[in-house]
Amino acid sequence: MTEIVRDRIDVALTVNGEPVEARVPAGQHLIDFLRLELGLTGAHASCEHGVCGACTIRVDGDAVRGCLMLAAQADGAEVWTVEGLTDTGEIADLQAAFVARNALQCGFCTPGMLVAAQELLARGGAPSRGEIREHLSGNYCRCTGYEAIVDAVEAVAMARAGAAAQEGGGGA
């Protein structure tokens, strides 16, 4: 380990809506900071080089890989994990759809998968199954074969689009 990695850096950020101040090793990945220092064990470390998506979290509005970002880089950032997205209810419909469709088996990929799916859904409209598959193609799931996940995301997209159309219709 080089000296620069051993250095410690002060960071201030918000995590799941709460202010966090910490002194972090310069070489610590954001996913390790969240899991080890904050006890947010929902997102997981798995491939550790940005391929599997198990560590996917939301940073300043984007779904990012917690294993490819250093905690030190999150200074000033707004970070959301599955725990926070659960508390606010933002993805409650998506979580319910995953349970109803059995779009998870072991559940290890699920927190990352939900954050990635919500990023697509937040764009609005009703993405095609191909678009859903493409958007989730960086999130590895060995258990389900993906079809149930695509089904669940598609169902939520259609429900949200329907609700949005109704709201729009009511206002006209």
Partner 1 sequence: MTIAFGNPDRPNSYIGKTVPRPNAPRLVQGRGRFVDDITLPRMAHVAFVRSPYAHARIGGIDAAAAKAVKGVLRVFTGADIAEVCTPWVAVLAHLKGLKSPPQHALATDRATWVGEPVAAVLATTRAAAEEAASLVEVAYEALPVVTDMMSALDETTPVIHPDLGDNLAFRRLHDEGDVEGAFAGAHAVVSARFRTARHTGVTLEPRSILVDWNPAEGQLVAWHATQAPHMMQTVLAKHLALPESRVRVICGDVGGSYGIKVHVYPDEVATAAIAKIMGRPVKFVADRLESFTTDIHARDHIVDARLAVDEAGRILAFDVDDWTAIGPYSVYPRTSAIEGNQVVNLCGGPYDFANYRARTTVVFQNKTPTCQYRAVGHPIAVAITEGLVDMAAAELGMDPVEIRRRNLYADDAYPATSPAKMRFEGLSHHASLDKLVALMDYDALRADQAAARKRGVHRGIGIASFIELTNPSPFMYGIGGARISAQDGCTVRMDPDGSVVALSGVTEQGQGTEAMLAQIVAEGVGVSPSEVRVVTGDTQVTPYGGGTWASRGAGIGGEAALQAARALRDSILEVAAAMLQSEPGRLDIRAGAVVDPDTGEERLSLAELGRIVYFRGDTLPKGLPRELVQTRHFITSEYPFAFTNGVQASYLEVDVETGVVTLLKHWCVEDCGRIVNPQLVDEQIRGGIVQGLGGALYEEIHYDEEGQLLNGSMADYLVPMAAETPDMIVGHVETPTKESLLGAKGAGEAGTAGAPAAVMNAINDALRPLGAQVTEMPFTPERILRALGAIED
Q: How far is the C-alpha of 133 from the C-alpha of 147, rounded, in Å? A: 9
Q: Please say whether the beta carbons of 1 and 64 come within 8 A.
A: no
Q: Which is nearer to partner 1, 11 or 112 (CB)?
A: 112
For the chain, the first-to-last Cα distance in angstroms comes to 63
* Residue 155, C-beta contacts closer than 8 angstroms, at least 6 positions apart: 97, 101
Part in contact with partner 1 (CB under 8 A); list of ranges 7-15, 105-113, 119-127, 162-170: 105-113
Q: Which is nearer to partner 1, 66 or 164 (CB)?
A: 66
Residue 40 engages partner 1 in binding (rule: CB under 8 A)? yes
When binding is defined by CB under 8 A, the residue of 72, 109, 120, 156 that contacts partner 1 is: 109
Residues 123-152 that bind partner 1 (CB under 8 A): 129, 132-134, 136-150
Residue 120 engages partner 1 in binding (rule: CB under 8 A)? no
Q: How far is the C-alpha of 21 from the C-alpha of 4, rounded, in Å? A: 21
Give the single-character DSSP code of 145. Answer: -
Q: How far is the C-alpha of 12 from the C-alpha of 136, rounded, in Å? A: 31
Question: Which residues in this chain contact partner 1 in the complex, by CB under 8 A?
Answer: 1, 25, 27, 35, 40-49, 51-52, 54, 81-83, 86, 95, 98-100, 102, 104-111, 114, 129, 132-134, 136-150
